[in-house]
Chain A
Amino acid sequence: MVSAGEATVKLRGVAKRYADIIAVDYVDLDVKYGEILGLLGPNGSGKSTTLKMILALIRPDSGSVSVLGIEAEDDPVAVKRQVGYVPESPRLYEFLTGLEYLDFVGDIYGLDASEKKGRIEEYLEAMELEGREGDMISSYSQGMKQKIALISAFLHKPKLLLLDEPLSGLDPRSARIVKDLLRKLTAQGVTTIMSTHILEIAQAMCDRIAIMYEGRLLALGNMKELRQKARLPGSDLEDVFLKLTGTEDVREVVEALLK
């Protein structure tokens, strides 16, 4: 078992390609126990693919993934038991009520009845969904669906959270609730990897940030290390990000467009 100080997730030479597209290009990555790692990168840079490989949802073409000391390749079910996953566009069962859905998720993860009931109530309340749990999911707003997806990732008290743009669709207040919740879980030793496009969130929430570009891991470190790497002391994450991914000229592009 993995404990403090050790890497919760280890990627070694992980690569994945789809036909002629290289989605992930030989990535080595250690995620530390109890940290929140932010995964940043332009669209199509391989963030979601990386998360899916950590979950043992898809198999890398080469390289190895180890999660909490388990080789994903050998025992994907054991990995999945320890992980909570929020996909980038969660598809829920539209024709169940929120409560029925969470109930189902709890059963799938083998929670016992009283524990399940307690946790569902607790999370519904925390996410300010109480009163709506009896409604059909198809009648939920985008953000409400996202909250249900988040709850179903938290429900079985996973040791590792893989969150693919977890705050998308959430209003500021709800985003705040989720952020607080994540901090609390981190304090309890839960490790989190989250991808996001909102740089302020990454800057504020993440202990370290990994920047991906065209399937490669461009840079990894905390804010200070990233600034050094980009040779932009004192600047914010946006400048660092744009410089590292070589898209500094976006400003020019935007200006040209506005002309």
Chain B
Amino acid sequence: MPVPKWLVVARNEYRIRINSIRTIRPYFPYLVIALLAVYVAFIAPAVVSLFIDDLLAFFLSQVALAMVPIIMFIIFFYFIILPITYTLQGMQAGQVEIFLAAPIKPSDVLLGEFLGVMPFYAIAITVMAGFFTAALNPLGLDMLQIAITVIIFVATFLSALWIGTVIAALVRTKFAKSARGRDVGRALSLVLALPMIAVMYAIMGGGLLEALADPGTSGMVRAILSLLPSSWGAEVIVNFASNPGNIGAVGFETLTRFGGLVAFFVAVLWLGTKAANRAYSIEPTTFTASRAKPDGFFYRTVRYLGGGGSFGTLLVSVFKDYGRRLENLSRIAYIVGLIAMVNIFFGGGFDDPEAALLMGLFLFPFLAVLVVGQVTAGGKESLFIYKKTPFGVGRFVKARLLQGWLVAVPIGVAITVVSMISIPQTTLISLLTYTGFMALIVAANVTLALGLSLLNPEFSENTRTQMFGLIVNAQVAMFVSLGIFIGSLIVLDLGFLNTVLLQTVVIWLLGIVFLYLGKRRFSRIE
């Protein structure tokens, strides 16, 4: 019997992913599983306990526990909408011709590609879950409980990703046919984030900090949440926590819920395939012919800012390329919309400027990564255009950097001003100081993000590959910010202003280092 087509596609996708380590390819899965096990069991708890003293750790674990259903839900939902928004914004599947020409069902391609990258998503999720179980460590879960918790994370979020992937594919076939449809799709991708924000808001009852302290207050929300698969796993984790080290205590319940979750995952995979078969097609989407207009005021200004001359021209062409690929702009609209909504909903919840800035501090790395995007260079060929000219890569990097700053810094400043101005305690001095720092932090984050994307340029035109690269970059950038934040505010107790200062300096330094490394890497690509 021939191998099923989806398996062929999956195997191929997987092979492509691990091509850079092909010498250890046969052992790769065992190696990764062993490393992840060591990480979850020993490294993550050790790292967490290094930083946090016992009392705080216990408090953290209680908070983590109470937040389980909410965290699970938010990530679940996020993972559903992630592929959808991404596809809706990009709207073209960079399908390799081979699938188009081959006698293969669209659903086989969809499922196969998903299964092929699944191991890598699973690794990322496990890393995340490791932090979480480490935070629960003071409660004294045993190894089996920890392992099951990790599997719950993986099964829940992979289901979410797959649901999102299928919906994205279906929606794409519906909308991608016309330019009008694509606009609708983009608008939709923004609207999709609304329910998540609304639920977050409802759960937190309008007050971020109160919600953190006593998250179990809202009974109705809990009831609604318990209907969702993300909560079945959460229940298991909560049960574990109330019976640490004793897996038998609620054995039956655990087994049914856990079994239910796994069954859900399999069912979702199967149903998704059926749904995809019905509606999803892998026709190449036709692009609408677009005609270029003469340079308007905007580009003339940009050229002027770039000092006229050849660098100005390069800057303008980088900008044009960016603007033509509309998805970049819609990505920015997306993040701005998201931040605006967060601010509208949480606006009342902040009672001092610092809390208001907190959100920005964590969202800016994200903003920067989205603005910079992936350095695709439109395939390797166009890279050579830059490389052919002397100092070409340096100039290319400079133009990209300037472009990132020009786009991101105003957004960052606007967000900071908007979120601070609504708070009565804000003085003119504090407004100016923080806005200045935030502008510097955004610029630093852009530098860092550009460095990261240069280090890891993406030549494939597969949207899923590009999305994965973006997620990785965003995670790195977030961890940097989060790390500095926790380090200076909680561990070293330096106070908010100093934290902001430190954030500014460290991200700038890191940004410069990464940019330098990235540029070097990029110049050496052949």
Give the interface of A toward B (CB within 8 A).
18-21, 55, 57-59, 77-78, 80-81, 83, 85, 87, 90-96, 100, 104-105, 107-112, 136, 152
Minimum C-beta distance from A40 to chain B (A) = 23
Docked complex Cα distance between A78 and B459 (Å): 33
Residues of A within 8 A of B23 (CB): none
Minimum C-beta distance from A84 to chain B (A) = 8
Listed from nearest, the 10 A-B pairs whose CB atoms lie closest are A81-B103, A95-B19, A107-B8, A80-B103, A85-B101, A110-B2, A19-B289, A104-B12, A77-B103, A108-B102
Docked complex Cα distance between A77 and B281 (Å): 12
The answer, among A18, A55, A95, for a CB contact under 8 Å with B101, is: A55
Residues of A within 8 A of B100 (CB): 57
Check: B105 CB closer than 8 A to any chain A CB.
yes
A152 lies within 8 A of B289 (CB): no
Docked complex Cα distance between A104 and B459 (Å): 21
Check: B389 CB closer than 8 A to any chain A CB.
no
Check: B54 CB closer than 8 A to any chain A CB.
no
List 16 A-B pairs, Cβ < 8 Å. A18-B288, A21-B289, A58-B283, A77-B105, A80-B101, A80-B103, A80-B104, A91-B96, A93-B16, A96-B12, A100-B15, A108-B98, A108-B103, A109-B102, A112-B2, A136-B19
Total residues of chain B contacting the partner, CB 8 A? 25
Docked complex Cα distance between A77 and B100 (Å): 10
Quick one: which of B71-130 are within 8 Å of A by CB? 96-98, 100-105
A107 lies within 8 A of B103 (CB): no
Check: B382 CB closer than 8 A to any chain A CB.
no
B98 lies within 8 A of A18 (CB): no
Minimum C-beta distance from A110 to chain B (A) = 4
- Residue interface mask B278-316, A partner, CB < 8 A = 1: 000001101011000000000000000000000000000
Quick one: which of B1-40 are within 8 Å of A by CB? 2-3, 5, 8-9, 11-12, 15-16, 19
Minimum C-beta distance from A253 to chain B (A) = 26
Minimum C-beta distance from A46 to chain B (A) = 14
Question: What's the dominant secondary structure at chain A's contact region?
Answer: loop
A107 lies within 8 A of B3 (CB): yes
Residues of B within 8 A of A59 (CB): 283
Docked complex Cα distance between A96 and B8 (Å): 14
Docked complex Cα distance between A34 and B66 (Å): 73
13 other A-B residue contacts (CB within 8 Å) besides A18-B288, A18-B289, A110-B5: A21-B289, A85-B97, A92-B96, A96-B12, A100-B12, A104-B11, A105-B102, A108-B8, A108-B98, A108-B102, A110-B2, A111-B2, A112-B2
B5 lies within 8 A of A108 (CB): yes
Minimum C-beta distance from A165 to chain B (A) = 14
Minimum C-beta distance from A20 to chain B (A) = 7
Minimum C-beta distance from B445 to chain A (A) = 30
Docked complex Cα distance between A130 and B5 (Å): 27
Residues of B within 8 A of A91 (CB): 96-97
Give the interface of B toward A (CB within 8 A).
2-3, 5, 8-9, 11-12, 15-16, 19, 96-98, 100-105, 283-284, 286, 288-289, 459
Residues of B within 8 A of A77 (CB): 103-105
Minimum C-beta distance from A169 to chain B (A) = 15
Docked complex Cα distance between A20 and B286 (Å): 13
Docked complex Cα distance between A110 and B1 (Å): 9
Docked complex Cα distance between A95 and B22 (Å): 10
Docked complex Cα distance between A59 and B100 (Å): 12
Minimum C-beta distance from B4 to chain A (A) = 10
Residue in chain B with minimal CB distance to A83: B101
Docked complex Cα distance between A80 and B282 (Å): 13
Known: A95-B19, A110-B2. A87 touches B8 (CB 8 A): no
Residues of B within 8 A of A94 (CB): 459
Most buried by A among B96, B98, B283, B289: B98
Residue in chain B with minimal CB distance to A23: B286
The answer, among A81, A95, A105, A112, for a CB contact under 8 Å with B98, is: A105
Minimum C-beta distance from A112 to chain B (A) = 6
A109 lies within 8 A of B103 (CB): yes
Residue in chain A with minimal CB distance to B104: A108
Known: A58-B283, A104-B12, A107-B8. A93 touches B96 (CB 8 A): yes
Most buried by A among B2, B16, B100, B104: B100
Docked complex Cα distance between A55 and B283 (Å): 12
Residue in chain A with minimal CB distance to B459: A94
A87 lies within 8 A of B97 (CB): yes
Residue in chain A with minimal CB distance to B19: A95
Minimum C-beta distance from A127 to chain B (A) = 18
B103 lies within 8 A of A93 (CB): no
Residues of B within 8 A of A111 (CB): 2
Known: A58-B283, A91-B96. A96 touches B19 (CB 8 A): yes
Minimum C-beta distance from A53 to chain B (A) = 12
Residue in chain A with minimal CB distance to B106: A77
Minimum C-beta distance from B345 to chain A (A) = 42
Docked complex Cα distance between A2 and B288 (Å): 38
B101 lies within 8 A of A57 (CB): yes
The answer, among B3, B15, B288, B459, for a CB contact under 8 Å with A96, is: B15
Docked complex Cα distance between A109 and B19 (Å): 23
Docked complex Cα distance between A143 and B3 (Å): 31
Minimum C-beta distance from B173 to chain A (A) = 13
Docked complex Cα distance between A100 and B100 (Å): 19
